[in-house]
Each structure stands twice: as C-alpha cells, then as structure tokens.
Chain A
Amino acid sequence: MRKQLKKFAQFTALSSLLVLSACGGNQAAGDEDGESSGGAVKADIGVISYISGPGAAYGEAITNGLKLAQEEINGKGEVEINLVIEDSAGKQDQALTAAQKLMNSENVTGIIGPTLSTEMNVVGPEADLNGVPIMGTSTTAEGIPQIGDYVFRNSLPEALAIPASIDKAIEKYDAKKVAILYGNDDVFTKSGFDTMKKAAEEKGLEILTIETFQKGQSDYNAQLTKIKGLKPDLILASALYNEGAVIMDQARKMGIDVPFVGGNGFNSPEVINIAGDAANGLIVATPWYGEKEDDKVKEFVGKYEEEYGKKPDQFAAQAYDALYIMAEALKNAGEADRDALRDALAEIKGFNGILGEFSFDEEGDVVMEPTVLVIEGGAFKEFN
C-alpha cells in the first residue's frame, strides 16, 4: 500500500514537473529593442480571447482590432505596447488559467478581455484581488464593472443599448403593445431579456406575451402564431443573430410585418445574409456604425479591410478603441504600473475614438451615446 502511494506521489510530482517545464518556455520576446525609443512608456498588455471553438469568429475580430491598434500606437512612439494573447476557448476554467498565466507568469500591466460575460464573471474577481486592471471589450451583461475597482469595460452594455432603441421605436411607430421573444438558455439573450422587460415596463408599454425559445431551435411557428394573434405594435426579440434571422424570416412569411427591436447579439450583418428581405425593419442600438461620416471611422474601416480583407464588425471596433483607451491611460500614468494604470483608466473622460465620445463612470462602466440602426432595403441605416 505504501509503495502504491509512493508511486502515486512520484507520478504526480513528475507530471507537475512536466507542466512546469512545458509552460515556462515562452517568455515575452518583444522588449529587445527597448532603450532606443526614449521616453515611451513600455507595457505588456495581456489579452484573453475566444480564439478556438464555436465562437472563434468573435475572438478573431477582437484580436484583429487589437493588433491594428497596437501597430498604430507603437508607430506613434508615445507608448509601446506588447500584446500577450491567450486563448480561452470560450470556457470559464480556461479563461481563468489564461488570466493566471498572464498575471503571474507574464506579469502583464493590464488585461483586455475575456470575450464572454460568463468568463468575465470568473476572471474579474481574480484580477481585482490581484490588483490587475482588466477591461472587457465585448462583455455586455449586467454587473460586470461592479465586480470590483479594477474591472472596466468599453462595450456598450445592454442596459444602455436596449432602452435607446426601444425609445426611438416608440417615438416613430407610436407603439403601445409589445410582445417579447427571447432565448432562455443563453446568458446573453437571457440578460438581454431582463433589460428589455424592465425597459418596456418603465416606458409603460403593455406586454402582451413573453415567449421563449432555445439555442439552435429551427421552428418558431408556435411562438409566432401566438404573437400574431395578439397583434402587437412591436416585437422585442432578445436573440443571437443565427436564431434571430430565422425568427424574422418565419415571422415575415407568416405575415407579421411589425418592426423588431433586437439586442446587441442581433446586431450583425449576418442577419441580412440569412434572412434577406425579411430582415427589413430590425431595429438595434449599437456603439459601432461603419458607414458613419467620420474621418477616424473611415480610416479604420479602410485599414482594416486592407489588412484582413473584410469589413470590421463591432467587436473589432470595440477592441480597437479599447487598446487606444489603455494607451491613453498608460500615457497619463507615465509608467507601466498596475495601480497607476487603474487610476488613470478611471479618470478617462471624453475619450474620442471610433465609437464616438467615451467616458467611464465611477464604477468603470460605459457612458456614451449609442447609435440606433434599422435595416432598410437590405442594409443597416441610421434610424431617426
């Protein structure tokens, strides 16, 4: 028996050695040409992103946006940022180990990411305890910056986006009765629904019915038939674009022609690709509008298309701005120190990026004016 235990101990010792040696190899190799850049603040910024797995498209857009921003920022010479990118595969435990690696092995000054709100719920408290400033670029669920003093985000939360789009829709269509439809097994759509319901109640709208669906569902006729019978003025749908597009398609085929108001997950050009003409009449609020008449936006879209061969989406844009905010804070802090960076981040006010004017409130949450868009004739247009 003792021999067995001993063997087990050897086994674990050996295997942990294996882990240790395997993980220690790749130190940041970016700071070799350091001294020449004079007074520039040099900092390692960790990135936790969803690079592999079903949501890898988000992670790709985010890392592309970050890399583009990094190139420009380092080119200017005031701040020199070295990105250390780690994959989370969309899993909480992976995100947490990635964060531990960045905080303890790579000694990064700050972290951008992780991609999902669920991941942030796990990583945020740990970063906060370690005193590492962390900024989400795509975490829109409620309560994220409230995790702690070191947790920030620059992604427009649903609590700002949804009421804005509902407001504009009420104004335009004089809506009084609404039906709500949402996916109840996904954090994103569920939290979007909570915000929608609250907003609808605050605006005094009559909620005719609340219908649910599940991820990956393909037939929504039962829910839509019920909604059609109740004759709402507006349908509030908290769905991701893949389900959302199918819902719109089936609704239009059924003869429901009232406008849809969607959350952030509904906001994707893919809706038009999937649903075609049926997508007309979808109203979403977004921090990012690529057609905006603004020099910065045009320059960013041009550069991004040149580099990666496609149009940037909101994830790329938010990541791009996030790194600029980090750089601004690093410049103000004057040194690559975690606490100094946190204080400098908290003081960011009226930052002018491609998303518009941006400030942090006292909790580290977003203060900005969202743009409300509507799909008309197969394209996103500004909704007035």
Chain B
Amino acid sequence: MLAELINPYYLQVASFILINIILGVSIYITLSTGQLSLANAGFMGIGAYTSALLTLNFDLPIIGGILAGTLLAGVFGILIGIPTLRLQGVYLAIVTLGFGEVIRVIFVNWESMTKGAVGLSGIPHMGRELLNTLKEFGFDPKILGLQNNQFVFLAIFLILLGVTISIITFFRRQNRSRVGRAFAAIKLDEKAAESMGINITYYKVLAFAQGALVAGFAGALFAHVLAYISPADFAYHRAVEILIFAVFGGSEVIWGPVFGALFLTVMPEVLRFISEYRYMIYGLIIIIMMAVRPQGLIDVNILNWLKLKTSKRRQKHGTSSQKSM
C-alpha cells in the first residue's frame, strides 16, 4: 500500500523543491541585511563543482565532498564580501552578477579540471550510494516493501527534508537573536545602526558569507542529486531564478522565499497537461503577482492574518493549546 504511494516522480519533484527552498533561503539571508546579491548562482557552482570533483577524483565520501564544497563557497563568500560590500544597491548587484559570470567562465575554460562546457558526468548519486552502502550491511529495501528506486528517492527526499527543516529552523532562530536584530537594523538604516554601535562590516560580511555557505551547500546537494553538472547550470539564468523566488514570495520573512521556491518549482510540473503553453501561464502568473503584490506574496501582514485565522479556528474547535513560541 505504502509502496504504491511512493512514486519516484513526486519524490523527484519534491527534492528539487527542497533544493530550491535552500537556494531561496540563501538569497533571503543576504537580503535581510538589505543587500541584493546575485552571486548565489556562482556560489552554488563552487559548491557543486568542488564536491563533484572531490568525490570523482579523490573518492571522498559524499558527505565529505558536500562539506568541502559548502565551506569553500563560504570562504569565497568572505573573500568576495569584504571588498564588494562597500558598494550598495544596484552597484552591488552588478558586481555580484559579474562575479557569478567569472565563476562560470572559469568552469568553461579550466578544461583539464572541469571538462569545460561538456560538464561532469557520473557524479556519485546520493541515494544510490546510500543504497549500496546499506546493502553491504545486509539491508534490502524489500524489507520495507519498496523497490530499489523507490527507496533511493525516498532516502534523498527524507535527507533533503531534514536538512531543509534544520536550515529554516536555524535562520528563524537567528532572526530572533542578536545577529538577526543587527541584520534588521542594518536593513532599515545603516547609519542609524552604526551609530547604535553595530559593527556594520562584520554583520554584512557575515550575512554575505552565510548566504554563500547555504548556496554552496544547495549546489553540492544539486550535484549529487542530478549526478551531472555543466557550467550552463550556474549561469545568469540561475541567478535570476533564485532572485525570483525571493521577489515572488516576498523577502520580508523567511517563509516568503520558501513559498516562492515551492510555488515556482511546482507550477511547471502542475501545468504539464498544457505542455507547450505552460511557460506562458507561468510567466503570466508571475506578472500578475508583480502587479498585484509588488512586495511579494508573503509578508508580515499575511503571516499575522494567517496566525489569527488558525488560532481562531482552533478555539472554535475547542482544541486551543496555546503555547509560547
């Protein structure tokens, strides 16, 4: 019964949704200090290529590759962040966009290492490797009543779900901490924040590095879920796609980009039944959204309204168990 419900197609879509959510979070972090960074596609590429190359050439376990990729992207985030954060607004956007392109051009031209535009194939696949390891210990998915490929995609989905929930939880908590308050203060007014004694450079670089770290992490996961990457995956289009998650969903609260990523990844799949017209509808939805809600779909007001609604309903049903946040 359970086995029939687990369709690798849905799990595959869900996995891409989760990866996109992580990317959405990565741009949210930099946006939460009021900086518009378009370098996230580049950081994603660094994470993906580092992890893929390490696992391919040095037989590093996938976890090791992912960690290395994430950290390297974070280091680049700091290196790029320090000089560029003197820039503001659209100038920062242009410089970071340029950085993303530089990364892509390096991937294209460093042929001895990255195989150029042809891309890297045969990257160890997260789910399949896990299955092989488990099989060595005598585990067989049939015990759970699952086919091999069902198990593979279920495993990927559960891992990604766990990871995504932890990331969102972490950044929600951070928002309520000293760091989050500092971010919010910088976003509202840099000068005022500085005069209050907030070390602007430190927090801005921190946000930038965190964004890079998360984007690199998403990239590394992407490489091991798709098992093939090429420089074109991390081009300008990807940067814009990530930005749209935040613009569409709203960048005031973390649920904005999360919802944006979810909705915009699901949409093309849901619209499959109209085949070649689906991207027209997709574009139309985005345009209507921009016109009706320029601040993004989810903002603080909507969240409060939703909270009110759900708590009212709960009281009506007599199951109100109000706990503190």
Using CB atoms and an 8 Å cutoff, list the residues of chain A in contact with chain B.
1-5, 7-8, 12, 15-16, 18-20, 22-23, 25-26, 51-53, 56, 59, 85-87, 89, 92-94, 96-98, 100-101, 103-105, 118, 121-122, 125, 129-130, 141, 143, 184-187, 189-191, 194
Complex Cα spacing A53 to B279, Å: 8
Query: Can you list, as one digit per residue, whether each of B281-316 has a CB less than 8 Å from chain A (1) or not (0)?
Result: 000000000000000000000000000001000000
B279 and A97: CB pair below 8 A?
A: no
Residues in B neighbouring A22, C-beta threshold 8 A:
266, 269-270
Neighbouring A residues of B266 by C-beta, 8 Å: 15, 18-19, 22
Given A19-B13, A100-B9, A186-B117, also A4-B272 (CB < 8 A): no
Of B59-67, B90-98, B187-195, B225-233, the segment with at least 4 beta carbons within 8 Å of chain A is B225-233
Could you count the A-B residue pairs with CB atoms below 8 Å apart for me: how many are there? Answer: 123
Instruction: Decide: B13 and A104 in contact? CB cutoff 8 A.
Output: no
Interface residues, chain B, with chain A CB atoms under 8 Å away: 7-10, 12-14, 16, 105, 108-109, 116-119, 121, 125, 128, 148-149, 161, 165, 168-169, 172, 226-228, 230-233, 262, 266, 268-270, 272-273, 275-279, 310, 323, 325
Distance to closest chain B CB from A215 (angstroms)? 9
**What is the bound-complex CA distance between A185 and B232, given in angstroms?**
8
A97 touches B325 (CB 8 A): no
Q: Name 21 interchain pairs, CB-CB below 8 A, sorted by A.
A: A4-B169, A5-B169, A20-B10, A22-B269, A23-B13, A51-B276, A52-B278, A86-B275, A92-B226, A92-B228, A97-B9, A97-B269, A100-B13, A118-B232, A184-B108, A184-B116, A185-B108, A185-B232, A187-B118, A189-B117, A190-B116
Q: How far is the CA of A4 from the CA of B305 in the complex (A)?
A: 15
B272–A185 contact, CB under 8 A? no
Which residue from B108, B117, B323 sits with its C-beta under 8 Å from A2?
A: B323
Closest to B21 in A: A12
Q: Which of B12, B117, B168, B279 contacts A89 (CB 8 A)?
A: B279
Which of chain B's residues have a CB closer than 8 A to the CB of A1?
325
Tell me the complex Cα distance, A23–B228, Å.
26
Q: How far is the CB of B8 from the nearest CB of chain A, in Å?
A: 5
Q: Which of B14, B118, B231 has the most CB of A within 10 A?
A: B118
Which residues of chain B are near A18, meaning CB under 8 Å? 266, 270
- A52, A125, A141: the one within 8 Å of B227 (CB): A125
CB distance A118 to B8 under 8 Å? no
**CB–CB A141/B325 < 8 A:** no
Contact of B118 among A15, A23, A104, A191 (CB under 8 A): A191
